[in-house]
């Protein structure tokens, strides 16, 4: 609910006062409050647990400070460092992180945007700017929202700034974004434009971030704030495996069940920064947005620029609620694929089974065996095009290698379809190999600094997706393949980050735009693909999970979580990912043991149970499996089919996390109507003389009786949640599942 009102504040030190225009955003459990002061600064007042229906203008502290701009202009500089701001501008005395820095026609970088007007609207506007139609963002979908637009003006440059606050009341979510419009008649250069700023009056917070590397994506890190800046960021052109555009500020002691948690997640897939800064007076500022490292954007007259959306959620009941808020928002209001709520096909991907060494017969042998087992789709991974026998060549030459795929692609797909299976295909659209027809014909199509040596990674370069002609050409090749056979799934991979960032088409003064133009170009192509082929299920991927972010989720309901398919490593990766992304979006496959990533041996059943916490599939050679494992597959598939509606649409709870010194890792899916739940427990590190542990399910109906199918007895939800399920496992890496159904 959005409520705006004007009120009069009386200073305590004299009889004067000022009129402020207040903005109050209420969700189920939170209140966000800010106001435009008499001097038209947009001051932040409060964000936290829901306030009563009082006038909250006292939270601006205008009445107690000795200085306000209205009452004491001679101390404006002091004031700027003391107050909270909604969107701080660079250069006017607030030495904390600013959201905006603009270089004007005189080369000056100071800006000062003041409140002009506001408007409340139902739903929320689309993010779209000249030349780029689609910028991913949440939309009014399953959950409704309303939006407050606040317009500000910098009188010196005549630029207009629009701040958008969309309130998803039921989900305790507020999304924020900013749009800069140049109506001035002169070009300006944006040096920094962040998406959000939240100021807190205190600093007793811990910051949670998701960090890692290839094969170890999104591992949870948590550390107390201290004076100075702490941040999570990426400057490699993608959201990256090393960090994720997510951060939470939590109170010390906050755990899964209790305590305050503020979650921030940027709907963006390129360079980003999320910074928490503890400044003087022990106040905390959190800012988030496109990284300003090597960034500049020339905003021509009559052009606009949208800073990507930042999703913010507040939970007064721990990290579990914070995560479920994100999950519900993303499933209901971000992922626009028609498959978001649909049961996805159980797939088998040939990558870890064959790598590049396959042909039609090999793929068909995998498909025949898979069909018998109940697997629903074959995905042909890297190696089907050009002369691609290893990762040295052919990216960009998206023509079927008919020496490898004898009979052609259509023959293969038809044969797979005849087995009752769907067919999916792999692309890496953003890339070009050094050894490729495309690069030989168009060397200038790679992102580059002309005259400098181009840095290779995996023997490949990044195509200049800031260019429409390059995107069009790649799209032409892709669609020719997609139209040539009954292809129902695409895996969109991206296997290197950007270097020598420059574009042959842009003038010198616009070269710093390339990082962001590249990301917008990727979005443009994904938009075209998903619009022109709405029935194709798109799965994103980037060397595993290096681009697992809300920007990608907008286009694809599932993302390959990591190249590390070891079940034990996946526990960490999937739990970290679940902090803000729904399990239904996590591609998770059963692969061989010992794991190709870490050499660890794990039971087949455990690999299955861990993969069932996401979008389930297989990634091994079914023609070479042991009889025992092979025999287990149909049952595993039947089990996933029984529970996949819970993974797709249920509430997710992290019950126990072995990184936090528990020997168990346990999680639970609960149906929205609480009629059933699935609890899975994996013992990671068994200990001698360590009695069975009681795992306490969450989210059940306390009054209802639940049959625990595996135990054969029924207990009340109250007993199960308070006393727990007794779990006794023998050995390392073994797992158990418990299905709880209301009787």
Dihedral through CA 696, CA 697, CA 701, CA 707, nearest 10?
Answer: -100
Looking at the Cβ atoms of 199 and 381, the one nearer to ligand DGJ is: 381
Per-residue DSSP letter, 445: G
Identify how many contiguous H helices and E strands the chain contains and give both numbers.
13, 37
CA-closest candidate to residue 701, choices 739, 742, 666: 742
Site string for ligand DGJ, 554-583 (x = CB under 6 A): ------x--x--------------------
Q: Considering only residues 187-246, where is the footprint of ligand DGJ by CB under 6 A? A: none
Task: Take residue 69 and report the two structure tokens written for it.
Answer: 């701009």
Q: Which stretch binds ligand DGJ (CB under 6 A): 106-114, 117-125, 300-308, 537-545?
A: 537-545
Task: Take residue 500 and report the two structure tokens written for it.
Answer: 């020598």
CA-closest candidate to residue 114, choices 11, 43, 13, 219: 43
Using alpha carbons, list the distances in angstroms from residue 505 to 151, 441, 525, 595.
34, 17, 19, 45
CA-closest candidate to residue 346, choices 365, 370, 362: 370
CA-closest candidate to residue 558, choices 342, 333, 242, 322: 342
Q: Which stretch binds ligand DGJ (CB under 6 A): 15-23, 256-264, 536-544, 731-739?
A: 536-544
Looking at the Cβ atoms of 471 and 547, the one nearer to ligand DGJ is: 547
Q: Residues 146, 381, 464, 549: which binds ligand DGJ (CB under 6 A)? A: 381
Q: Residues 268, 351, 489, 616: which binds ligand DGJ (CB under 6 A)? A: 351
Q: Is 446 helix (H, G, I), strand (E, B) or coil?
A: strand
Least spacing, CB of residue 480 vs ligand DGJ, in Å? 21
Round to the nearest angstrom and report the end-to-end CA distance of the chain: 39
Whether residue 313 contacts residue 263, with contact meaning beta carbons closer than 8 Å, is answered with yes
Q: Which stretch binds ligand DGJ (CB under 6 A): 164-172, 181-189, 260-268, 540-548?
A: 540-548
Q: Residues 26, 260, 382, 397: which binds ligand DGJ (CB under 6 A)? A: 382
According to DSSP, the β-strands at 206-211 and 377-380 are unpaired
Q: Residues 84, 88, 544, 614: which binds ligand DGJ (CB under 6 A)? A: 544
Looking at the Cβ atoms of 90 and 547, the one nearer to ligand DGJ is: 547
Looking at the Cβ atoms of 175 and 564, the one nearer to ligand DGJ is: 564
Whether residue 270 contacts residue 136, with contact meaning beta carbons closer than 8 Å, is answered with no
Least spacing, CB of residue 357 vs ligand DGJ, in Å? 13
Q: H helices within 486-555, ranges in order?
A: 514-532, 550-555
Looking at the Cβ atoms of 124 and 496, the one nearer to ligand DGJ is: 496
Task: Take residue 89 and report the two structure tokens written for it.
Answer: 């501008």
Using alpha carbons, list the distances in angstroms from residue 664 to 129, 263, 632, 710, 734.
48, 26, 24, 19, 10
Q: Considering only residues 99-138, where is the footprint of ligand DGJ by CB under 6 A? A: none
374 Rama sector, left if φ>0, alpha if ψ -120 to 50, beta otherwise: left
Looking at the Cβ atoms of 352 and 668, the one nearer to ligand DGJ is: 352
Q: Is 291 helix (H, G, I), strand (E, B) or coil?
A: coil
> What sign does the CA torsion over 87, 88, 89, 90 have?
negative
CA-closest candidate to residue 550, choices 170, 323, 265, 180: 265
CA distance 140 to 122: 9
Q: H helices within 544-626, ranges in order?
A: 550-555, 567-577, 604-611
Least spacing, CB of residue 358 vs ligand DGJ, in Å? 12
In DSSP terms, which residues pair with 599 in a beta bridge? none
Residues 6+ apart with CB under 8 A from 254: 206, 260, 261, 318, 319
Distance of CA 503 to the CA centre of its chain: 27
Looking at the Cβ atoms of 193 and 431, the one nearer to ligand DGJ is: 431
563 is catalytic: yes
CA distance 384 to 404: 7
Q: Residues 9, 363, 541, 622: which binds ligand DGJ (CB under 6 A)? A: 541
393 near ligand DGJ (CB under 6 A): no
CA distance 11 to 8: 10
Backbone angles phi, psi at 200, to 5 degrees: -115, 150
Q: Residues 196, 460, 543, 561: which binds ligand DGJ (CB under 6 A)? A: 543
Q: Considering only residues 398-437, where is the footprint of ligand DGJ by CB under 6 A? A: 426
Q: Considering only residues 31-70, where is the footprint of ligand DGJ by CB under 6 A? A: none
Least spacing, CB of residue 426 vs ligand DGJ, in Å? 6
Looking at the Cβ atoms of 245 and 587, the one nearer to ligand DGJ is: 587
Site size toward ligand DGJ (CB under 6 A) is 11
535 is catalytic: no
Looking at the Cβ atoms of 351 and 618, the one nearer to ligand DGJ is: 351
- Which residue in the block uniquely carries the two structure tokens 């139609």? 133
Site string for ligand DGJ, 467-496 (x = CB under 6 A): --------------------------x-x-
Residues 6+ apart with CB under 8 A from 64: 12
CA distance 457 to 562: 19
Looking at the Cβ atoms of 112 and 381, the one nearer to ligand DGJ is: 381
Q: Which residue number is nearest to ligand DGJ in terms of Cβ?
A: 382
Q: Which stretch binds ligand DGJ (CB under 6 A): 327-335, 502-510, 538-546, 569-577?
A: 538-546
Report the alpha-carbon angle 288-291-295, nearest 5. Answer: 145
Whether residue 307 contacts residue 289, with contact meaning beta carbons closer than 8 Å, is answered with yes
Looking at the Cβ atoms of 173 and 375, the one nearer to ligand DGJ is: 375
Least spacing, CB of residue 363 vs ligand DGJ, in Å? 15
Looking at the Cβ atoms of 192 and 344, the one nearer to ligand DGJ is: 344
Q: Is 439 helix (H, G, I), strand (E, B) or coil?
A: helix
Q: Which stretch binds ligand DGJ (CB under 6 A): 337-345, 398-406, 541-549, 727-735?
A: 541-549
According to DSSP, the β-strands at 705-708 and 713-716 are antiparallel
Of 104, 154, 464, 563, the active-site residue reads 563
Looking at the Cβ atoms of 182 and 495, the one nearer to ligand DGJ is: 495
Whether residue 296 contacts residue 512, with contact meaning beta carbons closer than 8 Å, is answered with yes
Site string for ligand DGJ, 495-534 (x = CB under 6 A): x---------------------------------------
Least spacing, CB of residue 481 vs ligand DGJ, in Å? 16
Least spacing, CB of residue 472 vs ligand DGJ, in Å? 24
Count of C-beta atoms within a 10 Å radius of residue 1: 11
Residues 6+ apart with CB under 8 A from 204: 251, 252
Of 493, 566, 609, 651, the active-site residue reads 493
CA distance 147 to 164: 7
Least spacing, CB of residue 562 vs ligand DGJ, in Å? 8
Distance of CA 719 to the CA centre of its chain: 36
Residues that bind ligand DGJ (CB under 6 A): 351, 381-382, 426, 493, 495, 541, 543-544, 560, 563
Catalytic residues: 493, 563
């Amino acid at each position: 609910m959005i409520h705006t009102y004007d009120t009069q504040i009386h200073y305590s030190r004299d009889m004067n006062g000022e009129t402020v225009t207040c903005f109050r955003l209420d969700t189920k459990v939170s209140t966000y409050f800010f106001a435009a002061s008499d001097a038209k600064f947009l001051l932040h007042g409060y964000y936290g647990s829901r306030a009563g229906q009082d006038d909250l203008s006292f939270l601006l502290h205008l009445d107690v400070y000795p200085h306000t701009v209205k009452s004491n202009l001679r101390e404006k500089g002091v004031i700027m460092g003391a107050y909270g701001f909604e969107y701080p501008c660079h250069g006017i005395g607030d030495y904390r992180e600013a959201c905006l820095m603009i270089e004007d026609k005189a080369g000056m970088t100071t800006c000062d945007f003041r409140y002009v007007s506001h408007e409340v609207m139902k739903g929320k506007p689309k993010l779209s700017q000249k030349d780029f139609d689609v910028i991913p963002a949440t939309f009014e979908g399953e959950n409704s929202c309303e939006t407050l637009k606040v317009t500000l003006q910098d009188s010196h440059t005549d630029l207009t700034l629009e701040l958008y606050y969309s309130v998803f009341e039921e989900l305790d979510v507020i999304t924020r974004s900013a749009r800069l419009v140049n109506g001035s008649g002169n070009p300006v250069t944006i040096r920094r434009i962040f998406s959000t700023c939240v100021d807190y009056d205190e600093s007793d917070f811990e910051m949670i971030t998701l960090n890692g590397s290839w094969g170890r994506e999104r591992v949870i890190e948590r550390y107390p704030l201290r004076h100075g800046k702490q941040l999570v960021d990426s400057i490699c052109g993608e959201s990256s495996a090393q960090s994720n555009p997510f951060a939470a500020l939590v109170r010390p002691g906050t755990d899964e069940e209790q305590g305050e948690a503020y979650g921030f997640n940027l709907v963006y897939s390129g360079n980003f920064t999320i910074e928490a800064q503890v400044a003087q007076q022990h106040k905390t500022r959190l800012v988030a947005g496109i990284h300003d490292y090597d960034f500049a954007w020339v905003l021509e007259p009559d052009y606009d620029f949208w800073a990507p959306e930042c999703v913010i959620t507040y939970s007064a009941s721990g990290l579990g609620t914070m995560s479920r808020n994100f999950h519900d928002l993303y499933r209901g209001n971000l992922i626009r694929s028609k498959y978001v709520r649909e049961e996805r096909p159980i797939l088998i991907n040939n990558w870890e089974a064959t790598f590049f060494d396959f042909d039609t017969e090999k793929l068909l042998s995998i498909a025949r065996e898979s069909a018998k087992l109940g697997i629903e789709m074959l995905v042909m991974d890297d190696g089907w095009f050009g002369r691609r026998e290893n990762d040295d060549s052919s990216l960009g030459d998206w023509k079927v290698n008919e020496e490898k795929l004898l009979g052609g692609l259509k023959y293969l797909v038809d044969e797979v379809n005849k087995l009752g299976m769907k067919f999916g295909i792999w692309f890496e659209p953003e890339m070009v190999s050094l050894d490729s027809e495309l690069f030989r014909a168009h060397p200038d199509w790679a992102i580059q600094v002309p005259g400098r040596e181009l840095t290779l990674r995996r023997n490949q370069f990044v195509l200049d997706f800031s260019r429409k002609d390059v995107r069009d050409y790649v799209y032409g090749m892709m669609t020719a393949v997609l139209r040539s056979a009954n292809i129902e799934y695409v895996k969109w991979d991206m296997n290197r980050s950007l270097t020598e960032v420059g574009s042959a088409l842009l003038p010198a003064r616009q070269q710093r735009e390339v990082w962001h133009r590249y990301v917008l170009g990727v979005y443009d192509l994904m938009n075209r693909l998903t619009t022109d082929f709405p029935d194709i299920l798109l799965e994103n991927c980037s060397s595993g999970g290096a681009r697992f972010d809300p920007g990608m989720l907008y286009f694809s309901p599932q993302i390959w979580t990591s190249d590390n398919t070891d079940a034990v490593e996946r526990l960490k990766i999937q739990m970290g990912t679940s902090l803000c992304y729904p399990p239904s979006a996590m591609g998770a496959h059963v692969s061989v043991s010992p794991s190709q990533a870490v050499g660890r041996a794990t039971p087949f059943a455990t690999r299955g149970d861990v993969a069932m916490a996401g979008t389930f599939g297989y990634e091994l050679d079914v023609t070479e499996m042991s009889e025992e494992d092979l025999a287990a597959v149909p049952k595993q598939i039947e089990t996933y089919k029984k529970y996949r509606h819970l993974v797709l649409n249920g509430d997710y709870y992290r019950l126990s996390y072995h990184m936090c010194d528990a020997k168990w890792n346990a999680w639970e899916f609960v149906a929205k109507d609480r009629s059933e739940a699935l609890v899975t427990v994996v013992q990671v590190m068994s200990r001698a003389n360590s009695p069975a542990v009681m795992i306490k399910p969450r989210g059940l109906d306390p009054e209802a009786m639940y049959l625990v199918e595996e135990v054969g007895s029924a207990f009340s939800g109250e007993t199960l949640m308070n006393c727990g399920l007794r779990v006794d496992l023998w050995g390392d890496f073994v797992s158990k599942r418990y299905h709880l159904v209301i009787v």
